[in-house]
Chains A and B, each alone.
Chain A
Amino acid sequence: MEAVYQLLKSEFRQFGTGGISLVLALTALLFLMAEWKRLSRGCRMYTAYAACMLVLVGNPFGYNDISTFWMETSYWKMFFLLLPAVAAAILVTELAVGTKHVWTGALGVLVCAALVAVSMSFQFTAPKLAVPENAYHVEHEIAELDDALRESGRSIQNMIAPRAVCAQIRELDASVNLLYGEDLIERMIAQDTVTEDETEKQFISDCASIVAVPAAVDNQIAMAEKYNSNCVILEADYDDQTLMESAGYDCYGTAGSYVIYFRE
């Protein structure tokens, strides 16, 4: 029971890591329950629905059944059934509009804003707004690199490249064949790839070594040899032309802060 409680707690916490805090949603739900008699019919129906879902999803039996069989690693997403944004928005609306005086309404909104801030204060990061560099919403440097690769006219197999390139190059050109993609990098970081196969384990470990140490050019050459890669992209800061040429790679040129190497 204690273990399930702890697991539920962690799932509960995980829910709010990227958006509306579940603590805020449940506070709103408590408010709605307390104010039940004054609510409109629709709000009452929603409150009854959310309370019912909370009981169904957030109990140890529900956790055991749903997480192990249906939702596997993402049980926390079941809390979306409470529709957290709707709960929080009803609370704010009732507080802001349901008051007799404007100043009490404004105070209500301020209290709600403080509640949002407090419930999520430990997760705030830098704003994620940016003016797009082009119509594709891809970094200009990557677009430049893509142009250079197209100009070369070569068929690219198992390309080894820095993470930023892997993440965006195939949004522009699907003919580029990569040794590892952004999704594998994400899984390597999250360490959630379960495999018993030794070859697969070795492959993941090799890719991790390339991504983790982009400065280790000799390692990239060894991996390119092992996995038959005919194209290596290096960040200009880590470029080692002598070593690359001694390994049989020709420098094709640079694009932004990337250096392109090909091998026949």
Chain B
Amino acid sequence: MLTILKTVILAFVWLVLPILTGCLFGLFPQREYRKRRSAYLIGSLTIWALFYGLARIALDGKWTLTKLTRVFCILLIVLTILSTGVIIYRWNIRALIRIKSRANLFITVIAALLVIVVAGGFAANRTEEHTVEQVMTMYMTDSLYEYDAMTGKSRADMMDFEKETLDAQKAAPVAAYYAVYVRMSNLHPAKFVRILLPVFLLPFYMAVYAAWAEYLFKHDTKKKWCFQIVVWLLYAVSLIADWSVAFGLYQNCWNGETLFFLGELPLTVLLVLGEKKQLREIEAFGQPYVILYYVVSAAAGQLLYEKGFFFVTFVWGAALAAALIKRWRDGGSLSTVKK
């Protein structure tokens, strides 16, 4: 009974709270992406980004896992209260929970179940993937990146190259993010990572590619569905090809690198491209919501992958350069605002 309650709370934090948090972006008057799915995606990025900021403080201050968990729980409660308040005042709750097409919902649920069953039930355990060990070590020692997850050696007993590996893991503390949830729920790390995380994370991937389908084929439902089916079949190729952590969506969707390259990076590109018919104008990059998109995507990227911040900044930098070139080509001064 207690396990079910814990799972329900975890499901709220992973699946509902991102939607509520994404609704906070509704405070910006000109913002794009006003759909429920967009709120979920941007909300997820925001929670990851907030955790990354908190984790940096925790790592610098040598906090224990328990202390980090307590502070993060407070943050989640504040987010819940704040976003619920914003929804009540600024959003139409009926619009938020309204189901437009029951058929679409039914197909989506069936597809999600199918993907989750393949990923959670049949994808073989890859011994090259070390998230479980990292989470387990932090949970058992109540520390953050103080012990080598693969051997159990403390920092004092480690050789230099082992310390370098640990520091590299510290740079992208995604395992600490999972460890916080394990500490919250006291579930076994292996069960949490291998059974619950696919259930919580695969909807994120599905939402990302559904958003891409929407962006690419706005009014063509047939193409939208076809696109999503093909994407998931393409990722299934890794089930019969040589394993690579970056492509292992079915095998290890929780891995930071996989989540970054196959989930967060496509979402970042979508945020960069924007919803309008043309490239973003140079003025758009000064809008508070666009700056916030960059900040949350860069911080979330860094949480997931060691070079995540660089990748995200590269994409946003390229878009900014393209906007500058466009303005120059159009013959306007860079400081001139188009009417």
Contact = CB atoms under 8 A, between A and B. Distances in A.
B141 interface: yes
The B interface, classified by DSSP as helix, strand, loop or mixed, is: helix
B223 A93 contact: yes
B230 A199 contact: no
Interface stretch (A172-180, A209-217, A241-249, A255-263): A172-180
Interface string A72-104: 001001101101011011101110111000000
Interface string A175-204: 111111111101000000111010110010
A20 B247 contact: yes
Contacts of A17: 242, 244
A93 B322 CA distance: 28
A131 B223 CA distance: 34
B194 A137 contact: yes
A40 B241 contact: no
A135 B191 contact: yes
Interface stretch (A1-9, A45-53, A218-226, A230-238): A45-53
Contacts of B161: 193-195, 200
A49 B279 CA distance: 10
A88 B234 contact: yes
Contact of B125 (A93, A138, A175): A138
B318 A56 contact: yes
A170 B322 contact: no
B191 A116 contact: no
B335 interface: no
B159 interface: yes
Contacts of A34: none
Interface residues of A, number: 76
Nearest to B190: A136
Interface in B21-56: none
Those 10 A-B pairs whose CB atoms lie nearest each other, nearest first: A18-B244, A181-B150, A19-B247, A167-B127, A174-B140, A136-B190, A42-B216, A177-B152, A89-B230, A130-B124
Interface of B: 118, 121-128, 130, 132-133, 136-137, 139-141, 148-153, 159-162, 165, 188-191, 194-195, 212, 215-218, 220, 222-223, 226-228, 230-231, 234-235, 237-248, 251, 261-262, 265-266, 269, 272-273, 277, 279, 307, 310-311, 314-315, 318, 322
17 contacts: A40-B217, A49-B272, A53-B318, A77-B246, A80-B265, A81-B269, A89-B230, A96-B230, A97-B223, A129-B124, A130-B125, A135-B188, A138-B125, A171-B133, A183-B130, A195-B161, A199-B159
Interface of A: 17-20, 40-43, 45-46, 49, 52-53, 56, 70-71, 74, 77-78, 80-81, 83, 85-86, 88-90, 92-94, 96-98, 116, 120, 123-132, 135-139, 164, 166-168, 170-172, 174-184, 186, 193-195, 197, 199-200, 203
